Structure 1
Amino acid sequence: MSDISSLKKFIDGTDPDSGLLYQSYVNSLYRYGISLGFAEDICMDAIHDVFCKLYNLSKENIIKIENVKYYLFKSLKHRLFDIYKKNKFIENVSITSIPFDIEVSVVDPIIDEEDKKIITEKVESLMSCLTDRQKEGIYLRYIQEMNYDEIALLLNMTPKSARMLVFRAMERLRNLNGDEKKIFFILLSASFLKSL
Structure 2
Amino acid sequence: MEKEYNDYDLWQRLLKGDRLALDEIYNKNFSPLYHYGMRMLYDEEAVRDCLHNLFVKLWENHKTLKPTDNIRYYLLSALRNNIINYRVKENKYQKVDLESNEVFDLKFNVESEYIKKEEQHEKMNQLSEAMNKLTGRQKEIIYLRYFEEMDYDEIAEIMNLSKKGAYKLSARALEALRELLKIDKAMLLAILLAVKR
TM-score normalised to the size of structure 2?
0.78
Structure 1 residues 68 and 119, CA gap change in structure 2 (3 angstroms) = same
Gaps of 5+ in 1: none
1:46 counterpart residue number: 50
| 1-structure distance, mates of 2:12, 2:99 | 31
2:29 counterpart residue number: 25
Q: Which of the residues 57, 60, 81 maps onto 2:61?
A: 57
1:177 counterpart residue number: 182
| 2-structure distance, mates of 1:91, 1:127 | 25
1:68 counterpart residue number: 71
Percentage of matched positions with identical amino acids: 30
2:155 counterpart residue number: 151
Shift of 1:150: 1.0
Shift of 1:56: 1.1
Residues 102-145 of structure 1: per-residue CA shift (max 9 Å, x gap): 13248533358xxxx98775443110231111111111111111
> Which stretches of structure 1, 4 residues or more, deviate above 4 A after TM superposition?
89-98, 117-121, 184-187
Shift of 1:6: 1.5
Q: Which of the residues 76, 81, 91 maps onto 1:78?
A: 81
Q: Does 1:167 align with 2:167?
A: no
Letter in 1 for 2:33: L
Shift of 1:69: 1.8
| 1-structure distance, mates of 2:80, 2:73 | 11
1:100-119 matches, within 5 Å, as: 100-105=104-109, 108-111=112-115
Larger helix fraction of residues: 1
Shift of 1:187: 4.6
TM-score normalised to the size of structure 1?
0.78
| 2-structure distance, mates of 1:96, 1:58 | 33
| 1-structure distance, mates of 2:56, 2:192 | 33
| 1-structure distance, mates of 2:54, 2:29 | 11
Aligned CA-pair RMSD? 3.2
